[in-house]
Structure 1
Amino acid sequence: MAAAASLEGITDFPSSMQALIEAGEQGLAAARALVEAAPAQSLATAPKILAPLQRPIRLRDCCLFLEHMEVSAGKIAKAQAKAAGQPEPTPQGPDGTWLNEQFYKQVIYYNADHLHVFGPDDEIHWPVQPGWADYELEWACVVGTSGKDIQQDAARSHIFGFTIFNDWSARDLQFPFMEAKLGPGEAKDFANSFGPCIATLDEFEDPYNLQMTARINGEVWSSGSTGTMHHSWEDALVQFSRGKTLFAGEVIGSGTVLGGCGLELDKALRHGDVVELEIERIGVLRNRVLFSQGA
């Protein structure tokens, strides 16, 4: 793309998506000019679309959709009690929920794996023979402008755009870490999928009114809306920049929409399953799951 840009008289076109994000409006203007000037032609073979950011400088996965957390926390607690031969537990959170009150007061997150990143149509090879292989229907915000102590009314201007995020989960590995109260841990350290693009902020009239869908082998398993987030992207940007710098190119995951994973549905992925996550105005992120032993 850089060579093509040079042919069109644009000699300083960013050489990567990270560089494009850091270039700000000037970089986006150059990209738009290049697209408009490009001749219409058909390609002999379709290009391979990679993850928009193949190694994000930082990746956090948040709990912005709390309804999913409420359901999942209950299921995990009951499963742990059953395995230990203990009585079925009861909710301990506010208003009869399973969550600690801190989930409602602030954005809770964990630092996610930014090294094992996959894009559209990539195969996801499970690290071990799974007891419970799962997908998670999420979206992610990509930070566009670095900032420190970002104010609520200015937070949206720091967003570059949004992408679809599949936070693959090995549930059998997750439960012991959750029991130790140290997060999902090893259950997430093998694959995160992003794509098929980063839709820039100007593409959305209202980002909090988008349909979210997950299909497994063409069958709809999950359906929800971005409008059901308890915390907003702006809330996250304000909190994460408090007293420290939030950098351009950081990726922030939303957490899973209600009903957006097999854990909530008592379903598990099988070898060869094709998982499609679709979010309105962004596109479809498709991956095929392969188990090490083909079972």
Structure 2
Amino acid sequence: MKLVTFADRNQHRLGALVGDGVLDLAAAASGSAPAFASMVALIEAGPDAWDAARALVAEADRKAMRSQTEVSLLAPLPRPTRLRDCSLMLEHMDVVLMQMARRAAAEENDSDAAYERLMASGKYSLNPTFKKQCVYYNADHTSVSGTGVDIVWPSYSDYIDFELEWACVIGRPAHDVGRERAADHIFGYTILNDWSARDVQMPLMYTMNGPGEGKDFPGSWGLGPCIVTPDEIGDPYDLVMTATINGEQWTRGNTGSMYHRFEDAIAQFSREKTILPGEVLGSGTVLGGCGFELGRSLSPGDVVELEVQNIGILRNRVVRAGQFAA
């Protein structure tokens, strides 16, 4: 199933993508259907409810179908139970560290020599901990945005950037789960755009307390356009990932480049504690998956399309407040 949350006549509804339309699951169900009240309700209702949803999708009652032109897709999980952005893709981080060293060296008279000196210092080498375990930080689960909406860039930032990631959504509570059983706890997969105000983020990173406001503003965590259940995703670690800006492809990668996999993260994070249904685990950024790596940045008006094979396209336009009104 490709499950969505959509707005129809000012109501938030749970749906499934069927062909070119959206099936309203609550409308398709006969009688009371509390499990179809929201995405979180469906996830928490468990496997029997998921099978019931599949049956409704297979039947696709025309009376419950909506045209995608008459509804607005929202973030599939408008408010996740929890949102962690993990560093499961490490190639990106090596390049970012080199870029940071080059920017620091650019302030010296002999920038090439300064760059070599900085790289030799080890300060800009990947910390070995990233390979030993799954590292993450808690993201703001109240600042989620969906596809098709404008991302209003904060007034205190001039370096607009995106990050091409994907994510898994937890479906069943996981407590002390072994890696061999971790996949059983994945409800589905979605695309994640980790919007980043680089000029705010970078100075904060040197405080050793994380990116702070550099990744913490309204709509800074893009999710969507849907959540795809594992039975329709194929091999989750062989999916093409692309980032296209104003029709120009900037990035092409693959989910198989993950150093750690979601199963590793679930096994680690569930040690002596419980991961809850509705939690989202981000992958980290694929190699070449942000402007900072590529020496580029976005401008107001740019349209960013992040695509992951078998999931869809997460599309947004970046604007300044008061500009480009729809």
Structures share fold, TM-score greater than 0.5: yes
Offset of 1:77 from its aligned partner? 3.6
| Residues matched between the structures, number | 292
* Residue type at the aligned position of 1:216: I
Structure 1 stretch 177-186 or stretch 235-244: which is displaced more?
Answer: 177-186
- 1:202-234 deviation per Cα after TM superposition (whole angstroms, max 9, x unaligned): 112310000000000111001100000000111
Question: Alignment partner of 1:32: what SS?
Answer: helix
Offset of 1:183 from its aligned partner? 1.6
| 1:84-99 equivalence runs, <5 A | 87-88=114-115, 89-91=118-120, 98-99=125-126
* Residue type at the aligned position of 2:86: C
Partner of 1:101: 128
| 1:37-56 equivalence runs, <5 A | 37-40=59-62, 43=66, 45-56=69-80
Residue 228 (1) aligns with residue 257 (2): yes
Residue 29 (1) aligns with residue 51 (2): yes
> What is the distance in 1 between the residues matched to 2:321 and 2:125?
35
- Alignment check: 8 A CA contact 2:163 2:290 kept: yes
- Alignment check: 8 A CA contact 1:10 1:30 kept: no
Instruction: Evaluate the alpha carbon distance shift between residue 172 and residue 24 of structure 1 in structure 2; reply closer, same or farther with a 3 A threshold.
Output: same
Residue 189 (1) aligns with residue 216 (2): yes
Instruction: Evaluate the alpha carbon distance shift between residue 55 and residue 43 of structure 1 in structure 2; reply closer, same or farther with a 3 A threshold.
Output: closer
**Taking every aligned residue pair, what percent have the same amino acid on both sides?**
52
Residue 247 (1) aligns with residue 276 (2): yes
- Alignment check: 8 A CA contact 1:74 1:91 kept: no
- Alignment check: 8 A CA contact 1:129 1:291 kept: no
- 1:176-198 deviation per Cα after TM superposition (whole angstroms, max 9, x unaligned): 11111222111000111110100
Instruction: Evaluate the alpha carbon distance shift between residue 108 and residue 234 of structure 1 in structure 2; reply closer, same or farther with a 3 A threshold.
Output: same
From 156, 168, 176, the counterpart of 2:195: 168
* C-alpha RMSD of the superposition: 2.2
Offset of 1:135 from its aligned partner? 0.5
- Alignment check: 8 A CA contact 1:129 1:293 kept: no
> What is the distance in 2 between the residues matched to 1:129 and 1:272?
17
* Residue type at the aligned position of 1:275: V
> What is the distance in 2 between the residues matched to 1:97 and 1:105?
18
- Alignment check: 8 A CA contact 1:132 1:269 kept: yes
Offset of 1:245 from its aligned partner? 0.6
Residue 265 (1) aligns with residue 265 (2): no
Residue 66 (1) aligns with residue 90 (2): yes
> What is the distance in 1 between the residues matched to 2:107 and 2:41?
49
The alignment's TM-score, normalised by the length of structure 1, stands at 0.92
Question: Alignment partner of 1:90: what SS?
Answer: helix
5+ residue gaps, structure 1, are none
